[in-house]
């Protein structure tokens, strides 16, 4: 069993909980290595279609890098090859991941959430990239992802000041999908997951890949003409035939993920 996180498998859904509440779920190298293994397993499991990541307790999703651990050791930063939470440096995971942000999401913790496909936030959630205030920089993708998700000027307002943004403002800025009462957070995240799971998994993965990788092309024509591996998989799948067949037979489709 993992030491620094908890994993619940609920049929097609995995719920991953960062479990270091005594340090506001901040991450050190062993925790990040563990989370990277968890998401390796999630990616490889054909029966796992969607994941939710959250933090243990009511105070924090993740406060980012465990600076006290860093200061006491060799100065090694927490991120591994796969980044904070095993997610910020992972660029080929086409299964959806939902961040259920239950409290403080600071620095690398916010970067984990930005690396997810959806952010569902408790009313008490707070987001920030405060690295410049401690002589660091948001090196786990925050400086790149935030401008892409909310636009340069709004992102600079957060990046250059390190200011704290409440969940309601995060929704207004566009990086939070939904804000809910704290007690309803996990129910809301599971609702989003259930709606995704109703869809054909290969269609979902192809959609995620195209939406992300098409941003690499300068023109719309190039983006639409490009070849995407998950689209190729979809076009040769049994599910591609199952969808129209179920529609014609007026029944719910039975997705196989192949």
d(CA 26, CA 133): 17
Q: Could you say which of 8, 111, 195, 221 is catalytic?
A: 111
Q: Which two tokens stand for residue 185?
A: 């957070």
Does the active-site annotation cover 111? yes
3-state secondary structure of 126: strand
Beta-bridge partners for 60: 104
Q: List % helix, strand, coil for the chain (3-state, nearest 5).
A: 45, 15, 35
In this structure, is the dihedral angle defined by the CA atoms of residues 28, 34, 37 and 38, taken in order, positive or negative?
A: negative
Tell me the three state secondary structure of residue 98.
Answer: strand
CB distance 106 to 158 below 8 Å: no
The b-or-e profile of 50-84 (16+ CB within 10 A means b, else e) is bbbbbbbbeebbbbbbbbebbeeeeeebbbbebbb
End-to-end CA distance of the chain: 30
Q: Nearest to residue 27, comparing CAs of 72, 62, 76, 54?
A: 62
Which member of 11, 131, 169, 178 is catalytic?
131
- Which string of DSSP letters, residue by residue, matches 224-252? HHS--HHHHHHHTSSHHHHHHHHHHTTS-
Phi first, then psi, for residue 37 (nearest 5°) are -65, -40
CA distance 176 to 190: 16
Active site (annotated) includes residue 198: no
State both tokens at 176.
Answer: 């939070």
Q: Catalytic residue numbers?
A: 111, 131
């Amino acid at each position: 069993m993992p030491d620094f996180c908890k994993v619940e498998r609920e049929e097609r859904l995995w719920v991953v909980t960062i479990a270091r509440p005594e340090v506001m779920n901040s991450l050190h190298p062993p925790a990040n290595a563990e989370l990277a293994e968890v998401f390796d397993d999630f990616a490889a499991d054909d029966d796992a279609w969607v994941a939710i990541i959250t933090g243990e307790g009511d105070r924090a999703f993740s406060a980012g890098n465990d600076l006290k651990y860093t200061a006491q050791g060799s100065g090694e930063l927490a991120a591994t090859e796969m980044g904070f939470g095993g997610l910020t440096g992972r660029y080929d995971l086409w299964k959806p991941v939902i961040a259920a942000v239950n409290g403080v999401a600071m620095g690398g913790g916010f970067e984990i959430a930005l690396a997810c496909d959806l952010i569902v936030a408790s009313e008490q959630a707070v987001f920030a990239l405060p690295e410049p205030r401690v002589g660091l920089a948001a090196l786990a993708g925050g400086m790149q992802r935030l401008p892409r998700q909310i636009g340069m000027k709004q992102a600079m307002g957060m990046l250059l000041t390190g200011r704290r943004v409440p969940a309601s403002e995060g929704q207004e800025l566009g990086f939070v999908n939904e804000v809910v009462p704290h007690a309803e957070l996990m129910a809301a995240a599971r609702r989003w997951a259930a709606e995704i799971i109703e869809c054909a998994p290969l269609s979902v993965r192809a959609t995620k890949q195209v939406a992300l990788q098409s941003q690499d092309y300068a023109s719309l024509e190039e983006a639409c003409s490009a070849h995407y591996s998950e689209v190729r998989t979809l076009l040769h799948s049994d599910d591609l035939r199952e969808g129209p067949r179920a529609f014609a037979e007026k029944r719910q489709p039975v997705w196989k993920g192949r």
